[in-house]
Amino acid sequence: MNWNEERNLIMVSKMYYEEALTQNEISKQLGIYRTTITRMLQKAREEGIVRIEVVESNRVKVDLERRLKEKFGSIQEFIVVPVNAESTRSSRLKAVGNVAISLLDSILKEGDNVGLAWGETMGTMANLIERKRKIDADFVPIVGGPGKMRVEHHVNTIAYNFAKAYHSRAHYIDSAAIVQSKETRDEIMGSEYMRDVLKLWDKLTVAIIGIGAPIRSSNLVWAGFLENGEDQMLEKDKAVGDIGSRFYNIDGLETTASLQERTIAIELDRLKENRATIAVAESEEKLESIVGAINGGYISHLVIDEPTAEALIRREG
């Protein structure tokens, strides 16, 4: 490219991109055929005379998201939340939670039935959610309460907070997540007071869930629920996590039959029918849990923090 050509390319580029003249106007002003202007602009872009840059804001990590989407095709949308390295666990939870709330907000439609789980992440979100537009929707737990476990909010409170934000209806569940026996479960599931909830489970359109940490017998979180040796059983069955108290292995298959039959929670497969099932997770420790949930195909949207996203990318398979 000689001196004179470069000059012309710069001039034409300025007229087109900075002064927003059309190629036709430029063509007339400079007495150059219009298609030549088209070609000059192409060349100017190739030569780097015109530089077009899409600014990846520090609030958004589109590139990572697209790589994740390529790796895990079953997920409709990944949302990676940037967090700064020195942030505390709680500030990360809040960051991820706020984004998940935004996402839910953009997905929610008139008439939706929204299923909610409980746990640390869901509790945080219930705290964060604020007044939203009024909408005609139903919020319902998809799993029984935490029983003796100490969590910030009962799943009914979570449903209440979400419903309140949208000036809509909350529904409550009057049962623990895991009960003593298959018989008790069957009885509760058949009871009058569960009918409303079950009906909503049937018509569920959206769900939002946290992803629990992997199960280890050293991890006593579930101790209150588990009976003689069930914690070892979970470990033996290679359970990697749970969604609404339903445990699954790395392939996403529900596991540990003795627990299954005592659990009061929506069927995992039912989540696949939803228009959207949003999962939220915020730490690398949950990597295996997350992968299991993805492999099960239960979730459509996954909101995670940046380091976890990078760990997911690095992970084999």
Partner DNA sequence: TCAATGTTTGCACAAATGTGCAAAAGGTGG
Partner DNA sequence: CCACCTTTTGCACATTTGTGCAAACATTGA
Secondary structure (3-state) at 170: strand
Q: Are 155 and 145 in contact (CB under 8 A)?
A: yes
| Of 69 and 169, CB closest to its own copies | 69
d(CA 244, CA 269): 12
Q: Does 85 bind its own copies (CB under 8 A)?
A: no
Q: Does 33 bind DNA (CB under 7 A)?
A: yes
Provide the minimum distance between the beta carbon of 314 and its own copies in the complex, in angstroms, as a whole number.
Answer: 23
Q: Does 208 bind its own copies (CB under 8 A)?
A: no
At 198, give phi and psi (nearest 5°).
-60, -40
Secondary structure (3-state) at 37: helix
Out of its own copies, DNA, none, which partner does residue 79 contact, by CB within 5 to 8 A per kind?
its own copies
Out of DNA, its own copies, none, which partner does residue 188 contact, by CB within 5 to 8 A per kind?
none
d(CA 268, CA 50): 52
Q: Does 42 bind DNA (CB under 7 A)?
A: yes
d(CA 240, CA 251): 9
Out of its own copies, DNA, none, which partner does residue 133 contact, by CB within 5 to 8 A per kind?
DNA
Applying the rule CB under 8 A, the residues between 30 and 69 that interact with its own copies are 44, 48-57, 59-60, 62-63, 66
DSSP assignment letter at 285: G
The phi-psi region of residue 43 (left if phi > 0; otherwise alpha if psi is between -120 and 50; otherwise beta) is alpha
The one among 6, 187, 261, 273 contacting its own copies by CB under 8 A:
6
Angle formed by the axes of helices 287-296 and 306-314, to 10°? 70
Instruction: Kindly give, in sequence order, each residue whose CB lies less than 8 Å from that of residue 233, ignoring residues fewer than 6 positions away.
Output: 256, 258, 259
Applying the rule CB under 8 A, the residues between 148 and 167 that interact with its own copies are none
Out of DNA, its own copies, none, which partner does residue 264 contact, by CB within 5 to 8 A per kind?
none
Point out which span in 18-26, 152-160, 227-235, 288-296 binds DNA (CB under 7 A): 18-26
- Alpha-helix runs per DSSP H in 108-255: 120-128, 155-165, 182-190, 192-202, 230-236
Looking only at the bridges linking them, the beta strands covering 239-243 and 246-249 are: antiparallel
Provide the minimum distance between the beta carbon of 38 and its own copies in the complex, in angstroms, as a whole number.
Answer: 15
Q: How many residues does the chain have?
A: 317
The one among 37, 64, 79, 194 contacting its own copies by CB under 8 A:
79
Q: Does 41 bind DNA (CB under 7 A)?
A: yes
Q: Does 51 bind DNA (CB under 7 A)?
A: no
The one among 7, 28, 29, 39 contacting DNA by CB under 7 A:
39
User: Which residues sit at the interface with DNA, rule CB under 7 A?
Assistant: 16, 22-24, 32-36, 38-39, 41-42, 110, 133-134
User: Which residues sit at the interface with its own copies, rule CB under 8 A?
Assistant: 2-4, 6-7, 10-11, 13-14, 17-18, 44, 48-57, 59-60, 62-63, 66, 79, 99, 102-103, 105-106
